[in-house]
Amino acid sequence: MRVSQRQKLAAAFRTRALRCTPPRYAVLDYLLRNPVHATAEEVFRAVNETDPRASRATVYNSLHALTRAGLVREVLLDGKAARFDANVHRHHHFVCERCGAVKDVAAWTALPRPPLAAFPAGSVVETYEVVFRGRCAGCSGATDLEERNG
Amino acid sequence: MRVSQRQKLAAAFRTRALRCTPPRYAVLDYLLRNPVHATAEEVFRAVNETDPRASRATVYNSLHALTRAGLVREVLLDGKAARFDANVHRHHHFVCERCGAVKDVAAWTALPRPPLAAFPAGSVVETYEVVFRGRCAGCSGATDLEERNG
DNA sequence: TTTTGTGCAAAAGGTTTGCATACGA
DNA sequence: TCGTATGCAAACCTTTTGCACAAAA
């Protein structure tokens, strides 16, 4: 990691009262440089390869600490593993139902406000997310038969 | 289960080439009568209480068969367990970040179409879902301190 | 009679926890 | 020094799998 990059991360950590520790640098640096919505396991493998002492538990701890601090966003798109995204600006996601690829969809405009009656009375909405599902370019021509044959 | 209800379910099963089996009746009937976005475990406990022979694996099998047949919708709202919803009409969800309650949000209007450029080139969007997060009526006044104290 | 589903137990992910040790502030 | 994070292993929870048996069509 470049010195200047580490200094940026350290500043972000300190602003949020997060301790600066090697695994936290490594986790956030990895997510920033690999904006592919990695799972915790993928982050673990990458971080652990650089520093074999880094453990799974610590990667989970770091991901949660970074998420709580607002430096990382946890994205739940399938029933398997949570994914983590260092892009915390408002945006949505497109998921390919066939190959599982996840792509960002730029936030194009605010959602039209639904009638208040649509929400449970007294509730307060803080955020919303839109998940689009379909087939990515590489999979949109493929048939189910091809899919089954790999 | 009322005879007329069972006949309705049987008709729905046959239309979709699903075999009519006791666990499938029980699972779908439970979801229809308890529109609370139950987890597989909750469905299992309810079904198993009525018929102690029903197993977890069978409840999972039934949920998946019903989902594939379009009679049930699988909803992924937290990193823990999938939830199942017998309401397959287009609608969205509100999740209370504090107590985890899930409420339906009526589909009020189509989303404005995002610019095509927002999507990966060549991709085909089939569905979308919106998840609103915030605090439900019962939790919107509670502070984090109260939350910690239980 | 053929095909598909069931039920049981065991295994397989993904994630969390307990605790002694190490390290940042 | 004090308080928090790390690292390891084991536990946990949800979901899947393998297989013999049972039931639906």
Q: How many CB atoms lie within 10 A of CB B47?
A: 23
The 10s digit of each residue's pLDDT in B13-23 is 999 999 999 99
Q: Domain residue spans in chain A?
A: 5-84, 90-149
The pTM assigned to this predicted structure is 0.86
Size of interface A-B (CB pairs under 8 A): 123
- Are A77 and A102 in contact by the 8 Å Cβ rule? The answer is yes
CB count, 10 Å around CB of B135?
21
Residues 42-71 of B with CB under 7 A from strand C: 51, 53-58, 61-62, 65
User: Nearest nt (C1') to A58 (CA)?
Assistant: D6
Q: How large is the average pLDDT for residues A18-47?
A: 97
What mean pLDDT, rounded, does chain A reach? Answer: 87
pLDDT tier for residue B40 given thresholds of 50, 70 and 90:
very high
Q: Which residue's CA is nearest to the C1' of nucleotide D13?
A: B80
Q: What is the pLDDT of residue B51?
A: 94
Could you give the CA distance from residue B71 to residue B122 in angstroms, rounded to a whole number? 30
Helix B22-33 × helix B40-50 angle, to 10°: 120
pLDDT one-digit tens code per residue, A77-129: 988 999 999 999 989 999 998 888 898 888 766 666 666 666 777 888 888 88
Lowest-pLDDT choice from A19-28, A54-63, B139-148: B139-148
**Helices A56-68 and A22-33 sit at what angle, rounded to 10 degrees?**
70
The pLDDT assigned to B39 comes to 97
pLDDT tens digits along B66-109: 999 999 999 999 889 999 999 999 899 999 988 888 998 887 66
Return positions of chain D under 7 A from a protein CB.
4-10, 13-18, 23-25
Closest CA to A120 of B105, B85, B91, B129: B105
Q: For the stretch B59-84, what's the b/e string if a residue is b when 16 or more beta carbons lie within 10 angstroms of its beta carbon?
A: beebbebbbebebbbebbbbeeebbb
Whether residue B105 and residue A114 make contact (CB cut-off 8 A), yes or no, is yes
Q: How many CB atoms lie within 10 A of CB B134?
A: 19
What sign has the CA pseudo-torsion A52, A28, A94, A125?
positive
Q: Which fold has domain A5-84?
A: Arc Repressor Mutant, subunit A (1.10.10)
Quote the pLDDT of residue B112: 61
Chain mean pLDDT for chain B: 87
What is d(CA A25, CA B119) in angstroms, rounded to the nearest whole number?
Answer: 31
Tens of pLDDT, residue by residue over A125-145, are 888 888 989 988 888 765 443
In CATH, what is the architecture of A90-149?
2-Layer Sandwich (3.30)
Identify the pLDDT of residue B8: 96
pLDDT of residue A106: 84
Angle at B94 between CA A95 and CA A132, to 5 degrees: 15
Do A121 and B134 lie within an 8 Å CB cutoff? Answer: no
Kindly tell me if the per-residue pLDDT of A146 is higher than 50: no
In the prediction, which pLDDT does A113 show?
61
